[in-house]
Amino acid sequence: MAIVALGVVYGDIGTSPLYTMQTFLTGQGGINNVDREAVLGMLSLVFWSITLITTVKYVLIAMRIDNNGEGGIFALYSLIRRHGAWLAIPAMLGGAAFLADSVLTPAVSISSAVEGLQTLPPLEQVFDDNPSLTLMITVVIIVILFSVQSRGTESIGRVFGSIVLIWFTFLAVVGLGNLNNDWSVFAALNPVYGVRFLFSPHNAAGIAVMGTVFLATTGAEALYSDMGHVGRGNIYFTWPFIKIALVCNYFGQGAWMLAHRDDAAYTKMATLNPFFQMMHPNVRYVAVALSVAAGVIASQALITGAFTMVSEATRLNWMPHLQVRYPARTRGQLYIPVINGVLCAATLAVLAIFKDSEHISAAYGLALTITMITTTVLLAVYIWYAGRRFGAVAFTVVFLAIQIMFFLASMAKFLHGGWFTLLLTCAILFVMYTWDQGTRLERAQRRHMRPDDFLPALDKLHGDFRIPYFADNIVYLTSDAETKRLDTDIFFSIFADHPKRARAWWAVSVETTDEPFTREYTVESFGTNFIYRVRMRLGFKVSQSLPAYIHQIMHDLSKTGELPKQKSIYPKVDADPDIGTIRYVLIHKALMPESKVSSRGALSLQAKYAIRRMAGSPVKWFGLAPYNPLVEVQPLFVSTRRPPRLKRVDEPVAVRAGFAGGAAGAAGVAGASAAAGLRVGGTDIAHADPAAIPDPMDTTAGLSRLVQELDAAMSEQDAEAEQNASKSMLHGTPKNVSRSAAKSAL
């Protein structure tokens, strides 16, 4: 697992030496414009940024704050959300920025590595003649990378882990080889060099140099988000080796720059990359091969982190439920096909827009600074409520100061590509916000029924043998977690149009828990053997393929006698003869044009429904496709704006005279009723406020009384039928009135 941890977690931070110093030289105007003060200042800033951000903040502090072994900004938010609704804002923003960064990481890491092929003497002419060749190679590698994600990160991590071990060993050896020329660069371990250079006139980039320094810390957030994939202990075990290798390589590049800053051959280079140039040309072949592999592995770290983030966002109702697969036995492995496809398409779009790593790096890092800032805020809240108030204040001041400086420096890249990162972040944030608001609005309009209201009607339908069975079991999926009541949507679905009679009706809700591997359920039967309210509690990393769980629950209740025996003599898809046929029903809501809802609420609902259509059907989310589920659409019963009442006007006498008897009589009766002031339920319709008139579609109160009145009316009809039959027998007339006739008449 330590090898897997190397392959899954450290790819992103391991590719930083490929482009960090290259970006530094570009910002300073070339190698001839850097002196010893600049090089030592840059090395000092890099070393202390890695130490404070990666080692202290993430490895030593953040990774100790986990949600049952899971890390990442959403797992952290789950631990503290009870302390304030406002915490959802930094959590959403940070999660959206992390997902945006997951798109840019494969593009910048792989393209920068592939561009190393241009430094190989035999291939220089080939790439000069074919400028787009590096882009084509990068596209092929990215497509292959995303196509193997379905195999799971366990198998990928074992292969990648061995390569990463070799890669970091190579980084350390190459760096130490160049340090033989000048060991004095280790003076940069003194933070004074970094602070002095930041405000020095020798710093041509000014505060923007911090945006370059930040590139050395990319991948730190991936350590936290991927903790659930590989385990905290494996990261603790491997991080010291990783940091030593990085420091050796960065300081080796610094020594090389000091040794060659007056070399005319390098001052004339359009794009100088110290990482490749400090190696012997024969070693460079190995470096290019390993760097390409490391770029692929860096992409893997962000892809697996994105899967975890989306899974946790779904649990928080910030994203639609997506089909999740669990391709490996290792704890925490998951694969989301839709997200994999979206990331692949977005990464290819980045390559199409920016073409090469130099332009991509202008957009890279800006989103990640946002994620780091929001993570700092949430960590500070956790530490504060854990009782360490002074520690929370010190943590907030130190790390917010550093990361806000990173953000301001990265904003200098806005017009050079940072706009794309922020645009992508805003798009993801829009999905999260509208989904959350739409869900809240739907839940606010939900109406429920008490057992006294729905049981008499269901009992009568259950025993009405005139209506054939729709299915032995009808299973409704609902988001309502309350087991002591019934959603009116389900009730109306059962009785709408042709009533859906069944041996048993099931209302099933699935609650995704904060714990990753929970598997529990509760059942409420309301004292009957035909209506069951089931609530499942599944961990956010547990498969939500419901048919298997439904069959288990039915078998459990059948064994205890709570569910009458069901035998199926005909073949079924589930091949379970001990359980009768099952029909799944899903109810979707639709917003009515006259619904009384704000413009923002209407936008959230419309956006949510559009996202749901694009994200895929719940039929796939819950594994119901083989069972031919029924999907119904019902109006969203928020309060409605009643249209103005119609005004009756009399037709001209000549026209009215053309109609005969019945119509005139009906008009007269209607006119008399209007003149008399028709009353409904004690309300004078002629003078009532339209909004005060009860809407029969917006209430279920009195259903029990209605059923009792129907029973009483039927009993009276039965008694009358018996009397008529007796009279007929006395007068010698055939008995032609029966109970069925009475029922039909009723």
- Closest by CA to 138, choosing from 97, 109, 179, 98, is 109
- Give the residue, 640 or 134, on which the prediction is more confident: 134
The model's pLDDT over 668-687, given as tens digits with 9 standing for 90+, comes to 444 444 444 434 344 443 44
Looking at residue 500, its pLDDT comes to 92
Tokens 């059962």 correspond to what residue?
494
Residue 533, beta-bridge partner list: 507, 524
For 447, residues 6+ apart whose C-beta sits below 8 A from its C-beta are 487, 488, 637, 698, 700
Terminal-to-terminal C-alpha distance of the chain:
73
DSSP output for 171-204: HHHHHHHHHTT-GGGGGGGSHHHHHHHHTSTT-T
Provide the residue type at 615 as one letter: A
Tell how strand 683-684 and strand 679-680 pair up. Answer: antiparallel
Give residue-wise pLDDT tens across range 540-586.
677 777 888 999 999 999 999 999 988 877 777 777 788 888 999 98
Mean pLDDT, rounded, for 438-448: 80
Convert the pLDDT of each residue in 616-638 to its tens digit.
677 777 878 778 888 888 777 55
Q: Which residues pair with 536 in a beta bridge?
A: 510, 521
Rounded to whole angstroms, what are the CA distances from 192 to 44, 202, 397?
Answer: 8, 15, 20
Highest mean pLDDT pick, 203-207, 326-330, 463-467: 463-467
Phi, psi of 579 (to 5 degrees): -125, 135
Predicted structure pTM score: 0.71
CB 114 within 8 A of CB 21: no
pLDDT, tens digit, 9 for 90 and up, residues 32-77: 888 889 999 999 999 999 999 999 999 999 988 888 777 888 888 9
- Chain mean position to CA 431: 9
Q: Which has the minimum average pLDDT: 475-489, 639-653, 682-696?
A: 682-696
For residues 49 and 47, give the distance between their C-alpha atoms in angstroms, rounded to a whole number: 6
Bridge partners (DSSP) of residue 510 are 536
Give the 3-state secondary structure of residue 461: helix
| Sign of the alpha-carbon torsion through 19, 21, 27, 32 | negative
Using DSSP, state whether 640 is helix, strand or coil: strand
Give the integer Cα–Cα distance in Å for 742 and 579: 37
Residues 538, 513: contact at Cβ < 8 Å? yes
Nearest Cα to Cα of residue 324 among 541, 538, 154, 539: 541
Q: Please report the pLDDT score of residue 108 as a whole number.
A: 81
- pLDDT of res. 267: 73
Show the 3-state SS of 376-420: HHHHHHHHHHCCCHHHHHHHHHHHHHHHHHHHHHHHHHHHHCHHH
DSSP class of residue 497?
S
What is the Cα–Cα distance from 270 to 290, expressed in whole angstroms? 24
Q: Is residue 301 within 8 Å of residue 156, measured between CB atoms?
A: no
Sign of CA dihedral 223, 225, 229, 233: positive
Which residue is it, tokens 């024969």? 282
Residue 175 pLDDT greater than 70, yes or no: yes
7/159 Cα distance (integer angstroms): 7
Cα dihedral 100, 102, 106, 109 sign: positive
For 609-640, letters b (16+ CB in 10 Å) and e give bebbeebebbbebbbbeebebbeeeeebbbeb
**Which pLDDT does position 6 carry in this prediction?**
78
Distance CA 275, CA 253 (A): 6
Residues 591, 441: contact at Cβ < 8 Å? Answer: no
Read off the amino acid at residue 58.
Y
Q: Which domains does the chain have, with CATH numbers?
A: 1-439 (1.20.1740.10), 446-635 (no CATH)
φ, ψ for residue 648 (rounded to 5)? Answer: -80, 135
Q: What is the pLDDT of residue 506?
A: 94
Q: To which residue do tokens 């130190």 refer?
A: 398
- For residue 507, how far is the Cα from the chain centroid? 25
In angstroms, the CA 473 to CA 716 distance is 34
Q: Please give the DSSP secondary-structure letter assigned to residue 54.
A: I
In this structure, are residues 242 and 50 in contact, taking their beta carbons and an 8 Å threshold?
no
Half-sphere exposure of 173 (CA within 13 A, CB side): 11
How confident is the model over 516-539, as a mean pLDDT? 89
The arithmetic mean of pLDDT across residues 107-129, rounded, is 80
Among 198-212, 395-409, 516-530, where is mean pLDDT lowest?
Answer: 198-212
| Model confidence at 211: pLDDT above 90 | no
Q: What pLDDT does 74 receive?
A: 86
Is the predicted pLDDT of residue 663 greater than 60, yes or no? no
